[in-house]
Amino acid sequence: MMKTILVLNGPNLNMLGKREPGIYGGKTLADIEADCKTVGSELGLSVDFRQSNHEGTLIDWLHEADEKSLGVAFNAGAYTHTSIALHDAIRAISIPVIEVHVSNVHSREEFRHTSMIAPACKGVICGFGPHSYILALHALKNITQ
């Protein structure tokens, strides 16, 4: 049976493709999902790709992933900068979580320079556009197998 990686997306990421294309590029979340599934199968990983605009749903899915997945690539969107509850959820599970961002949050507004979740994560990948997700899959493969 293939090992599963959860690729989890938070608020507003369903708007990729039409949302601020100068910052996030033209790919939709469905395009990114397809790329992740292709690379996942090359790496021998099954990709469970999800998005929610709701903090509690993201927390529930992190808890579930602890039983079902090897690790998580997590783009928490703006909750990255605000959510102690997501920090606690990551700390509550034992599988590795990698924080992912499409944009380089450190080259943007100051409020994006702080991550509430980074201290609970195994590592952080940001600034490579949609390729950030692919880098996270490689990193998860490397640290989990």
Ligand X SMILES: O=C1C[C@@](O)(C(=O)O)C[C@@H](O)[C@@H]1O
Contact 140, 98 (CB under 8 A): yes
Cβ-contact 21, 130 below 8 angstroms: no
Question: Does the annotation place 81 within a ligand binding site?
Answer: yes
105 near ligand X, rule: CB under 6 A: yes
Task: Look at the chain and count its residues.
Answer: 145
Nearer to ligand X, 86 or 105 (CB): 105
The verdict on 101 binding ligand X (CB under 6 A) reads yes
Report angle CA 127, 133, 134 to the nearest 5 degrees: 110
Judged by CB, which is closer to ligand X: 69, or 115?
Answer: 115
- Compute how many other C-beta atoms are within 10 angstroms of the C-beta atom of residue 79: 20
Q: Which residues inside 67-86 make contact with ligand X, applying CB under 6 A?
A: 75, 77-78, 80
Positions touching ligand X (CB under 6 A) are 12, 75, 77-78, 80, 101-103, 105, 112
Binding-site members are 75, 81, 88, 102-103, 112
